Structure 1
Amino acid sequence: MEWFSDGDYWLSRLVFQRALAGVYLIAFLTAALQFRALIGERGMLPVPAYVRRIPLRRAPSLFQLHYSDRYFALCAWTGALLSAALVAGAADRIPLWGAMAWWAALWVLYLSIVNVGQTWYGFGWESLLLETGFLAVFLGNERTAPPVLVLWLLRWVLFRVEFGAGLIKIRGDECWRKLTCLYFHHETQPMPGPLSWFFHHLPKPLHRVEVAANHVTQLLIPVLLFTPQPVASAAAGMIVLTQLWLVLSGNFAWLNWITITLALSAVDASLIADPPALPAPPLWYEIVVIAVTALLLGRSYRPARNLLSRRQSMNRSYDPLHLVNAYGAFGTVGRVRQELVVEGTEETVLHPGTVWREYGFKGKPGDVRRMPRQFAPYHLRLDWMMWFAALSPAYARSWFGPFMERLLDGDRDTLRLLAHNPFPDAPPAYVRARVYRYRYTTWRELRATGAWWHRTYVREFLRPTRLF
């Protein structure tokens, strides 16, 4: 079947696979370095307790069959090593079936982590990595030309990511329609980066231009992905440029980077390099790819209907395998930034003069004089959930109490998630959490005080608590 493959995309496939393996590597490293405190045997939301409640059919995972911290670490580090080898191009040195099995192993390992990750893994980019990673299984290696059907399915994923995000904005918050959301977004986004303060202070007319350009990129450009070349490549290039702008303006884990990766798969690389002679695909491979394409197109009905719905869902999976999902981001934009400040004291008897010491987080704002750091594509899961908790206590119901208990217990794994522990010798007697309103300082305030933020006390979030 001559229509089945297109050798012009051999370089696009190579770049896509290396980039996707890099995203996998970051995801597995994030899991390996954070899991003990979050979902380990003694974690805030332990996996063993979760799998006792949730059957295998609802959350397929290797950890449904067996769990121990050592086994989880083995799976996460194995995923990291396999990903690193793929970045180096190992899959192109083995037979086609071996490369497919390699990518499938990564997908199974990460699916197993996400499906027991609970609140900590409820982000849209987890499903996006799994959906993209599943398609990568069938993209082939240097033993065959890239299959056209999988290339089109990758564009379908990218279309839903961008178009879904564009629609959720137009439907969700009037500031997107008025072109004013960026008056607030850089200040109130979950985790600002080192340039976010400067982005916030750009002139308001430029902010309006940014929003208008975003609407064009997310609502019009994605349609061009399905047009002939070189228009589709130009559309992909526009998406890449927009995503790089977002990389500079904030920390969104690997969302921007996997979107860039998807866009690169739509570029016709024959414009810059002649394709080599590639073998014709074997019949069994053609049959498998056609069958998978039919399966995914059938499962695309609900995500496609979601795009057209007035009650559009954002970041939703329709099956436990995360095969075809709905995406979207920032359907609403906060006008005021609130942050949780966690403090402890060594004093066993509380009084008005009690000295409280503040815990420092790696990514989220705390110390007003500390310039925001760049962490993405690495994902600071606790810091992100602290942002959600400040929006509403409902987001913290399942894990915030256990988090505070572990601070009182001086749990080493939990403290490793933090940037600063004010009690290095012994855990505190009491801890508390308070809500503050944060705003960026002005240029004049920054020069005068060296502070990037100004904060004002709002209310108590958790009263002083101790272990009993």
Structure 2
Amino acid sequence: MDWILWFDANWFNATDREFARQVLQRGIAALYFVAFLSTLNQFPALLGEHGLLPVPRYLERAAQSGQRPRPTLFTRWRYTDRRLRAMCWTGLAVSALLVAGLPQTGPPWVPMAAFLLLWGLYMSIVNVGHTFYGFGWEMLLLEAGFLAAFLGSNRVPPPAPIMLLAIWLVFRLEFGAGMIKIRGGREWRDFTALYYHHETQPMPGPLSRQAHLLPKPLHRVEVAGNHFAQLVVPFLLFAPQPVASIAAGVIVVTQLWLIATGNFAWLNWMAIVLAFSAVSDRVAHSVFPVIPLGQEAGAESPLWWVVLVSAVTVLLLVLSYRPLLNLFSRHQLMNAAFNRWQLVNAYGAFGTVTKERIEIIVEGTLDADPDNTAEWREYGFKGKPGDVRRIPRQWAPYHLRLDWLMWFLPLRSVHERWFHVFLSRLLAADPAVLRLLREDPFAGERPAWVRARAFLYRFATRAEFRETGQRWIRTPLGEVVPPVSRGWDR
């Protein structure tokens, strides 16, 4: 009977998905709020008019190269930090209203317009963010926001085609990540990936060390559970109830474990929100009786709404062709967009796991001579490891973009342009850049020299922690950027 409720006598209405719709709309809106807040706090210093990689210069180079720019309002209106902040404040206000459920009380075009506004504003930001916005969860948020625009309002039943497309999105997210791992590093196939991952992931959380210190047999169970959750469970999302709801519950539990043991911005939270698209009101009510049952009969969907949602469904199904082929391709792409609007994308993460953790530590000194007698002081970052005694904080779903890029430096090159500019801004004691850090060891004073050193980090064993009080053990590997002074990067 639950399967019949999924496709009501009116095929368009998913009358047993009202709870799922509420979770999708409010959850996606909440993550947009976090994304706009992160952008408001970090974008000007990273990419603003005087940022590390200024957007005006990026747009100018793109225009000179003759490349067709991705859709962004900043090609129509010149970028300014003031306009960027206005977009962020608008996004924060609209997403807050959606979380509160106010637009959903009107006709279906009202929440549709609100979500399309969020989608357009954030796409305008992502498409000029290049290095600092090149993460898979950016396109995931864009795709989810576009889809949420067509979930309707409280005045119409949840549209079955859009609920199915939401399941298709979480399927691609989970199954794509599973296939990337199977095709990737051997450590996923021999079940040893979790011997390293908790220690070497980009931004550990407060429980990452405890997870890393679990017995190795449990790490192998973790990998097996991951393969089951990503390679088998996604297919069950399309099964009749209550199987689909149980499959969604498995995804939620596995994502909560990832949230507890790491910081991956809003990636895991979005997976949880999207998984609810497969949860029926009856199953939700049976687990939590406070959740009301869906209405068996109610307002009809107006014809214009049925036609619009049907057209969007056809569009997204057509755009699904290449992502579907990609899932089963031997040359599977990870976190790839197949169109300029970043709709129906390919997802995946951690096809290989880094075996060692190398951290770039930035230091400065006030001494005139940067020799071995100089007093070097370490800059503290908010999220990335530094102080060996400090417990890593839980930041997700908030995204610390500078800290994430610092993790990539040893894997790429410390000579990336943004990092050289970053060092120059530290020499100038730039207030906007210093606000991105947890600790400025010079309290706003300009250092005479800065340098970057590489360290090998590993989690301390329980015995080492009892002896030293250190949560990390680090070994110096040498200088990667020798001492530099003001004007060195001109």
TM-score (norm 1): 0.98
Distance in 2 separating the partners of 1:456 and 1:150:
52
Listed as ranges, the matches of 1:191-340 within 5 Å are: 191-271=203-283, 272=285, 273-276=292-295, 277-340=297-360
Confirm whether residue 177 of structure 1 aligns to residue 189 of structure 2. Answer: yes
Aligned partner (choices 127, 134, 140) of residue 146 of structure 2: 134
Segments of 5+ residues of structure 2 without an aligned counterpart are 1-8, 286-291
Partner of 2:419: 400
- Counterpart contact for 1:360–1:367, Cα < 8 Å: yes
Give 1:65's aligned residue: 76
Aligned to 1:52: 60
Rounded to whole Å, the distance in 2 between the matches of 1:306 and 1:220 is 18
Aligned-partner Cα distance in 2 for 1:278–1:121:
43
Partner of residue 186, structure 1: 198
Q: Is the 1:115–1:320 contact (alpha carbons within 8 Å) kept by the matching residues of 2? A: no
Aligned positions of 1:7-22 closer than 5 A: 7-22=15-30
Matched with 2:4 is none
Once residues 36 and 98 of structure 1 are traced to their aligned partners in structure 2, the CA distance between those partners, rounded to angstroms, is: 31
**How much has 1:310 moved relative to structure 2?**
1.0
Give the aligned CA root-mean-square deviation in angstroms. 1.3
Instruction: Note the 1:345-424 alignment, pairs <5 A.
Output: 345-393=365-413, 397-424=416-443
How far the C-alpha of 1:141 sits from its partner, in A, is: 1.0
Corresponding position of 1:341: 361
Distance in 2 (alpha carbons) for counterparts of 1:414 and 1:35: 11
Deviation sequence 1:247-286 (CA, Å, 0-9, x none) = 1110111000000000011100133132234311111111
| Stretch deviating more after TM superposition (295-304 or 377-386) | 295-304
State the TM-score, normalizing by the size of structure 2: 0.93
Cα distance, 1:425 vs structure 2: 4.1
- Structure 1: gaps of 5 or more residues: none
| SS of 2:152 mapped into structure 1 | coil
Letter in 2 for 1:442: T
Aligned mates of 1:278, 1:18 — CA distance in 2: 22
Greater mean deviation of Cα atoms: 357-366 or 343-352? 343-352
Which stretch shifts more, 377-386 or 311-320? 311-320
Question: How many Å apart are 1:227 and its aligned residue?
Answer: 1.3
Residue equivalent to 1:144: 156
Contact 1:437 1:455 in 2 (8 A): yes
How many residue pairs match? The answer is 467
Q: C-alpha distance in 2, partners of 1:464/1:90? A: 55
2: CA distance between counterparts of 1:172 and 1:398? 29
For 2:95, give the aligned amino acid. Answer: S
- Give, in whole Å, the separation in 1 of the partners of 2:478 and 2:318: 50
Q: Distance in 2 between matches of 1:237 and 1:438?
A: 35
Aligned equivalents of 2:158, 2:217: Cα separation in 1: 44
Which amino acid in structure 1 is aligned with residue 293 of structure 2?
D
Cα deviation digits, residues 272-312 of structure 1 (max 9, x gap): 13223431111111111111111111111111111111111
**Where in structure 1 do 4 or more consecutive aligned residues deviate above 4 Å?**
none
CA distance in 2 between partners of 1:144 and 1:5 (Å): 9
1:209: Cα distance to partner? Answer: 0.6
Deviating more after overlay: 13-22 vs 185-194: 13-22
Contact 2:431–2:444 at 8 Å: present in 1 too? no
Residues 106 and 154 in structure 2, CA contact (< 8 A), matched pair in contact too: no
- 3-state DSSP of counterpart to 2:360: strand
- Of 29, 35, 47, 1:39 maps to 47
What is the letter of the counterpart of residue 361 of structure 1? Answer: F
Q: Secondary structure at the match of 1:439?
A: strand
CA gap 1:407/1:85 in 2 versus in 1, 3 angstroms: same
Amino acid at match of 1:65: R
The residue type paired with residue 353 of structure 1 is T
Q: Secondary structure at the match of 1:293?
A: helix
Please give the secondary structure, in 2, of the residue aligned with 1:374: coil
Q: Mapping of 1:104-115 within 5 angstroms? A: 104-115=116-127
Aligned partner of 2:73: which letter?
Answer: L
Equivalent residue letter for 1:150: I
In the TM superposition, what is the alpha-carbon distance from 1:11 to its structure 2 partner? 1.3
Contact 2:364 2:451 in 1 (8 A): yes
Name the amino acid aligned to 1:3.
Answer: W
Shift of 1:384: 0.3
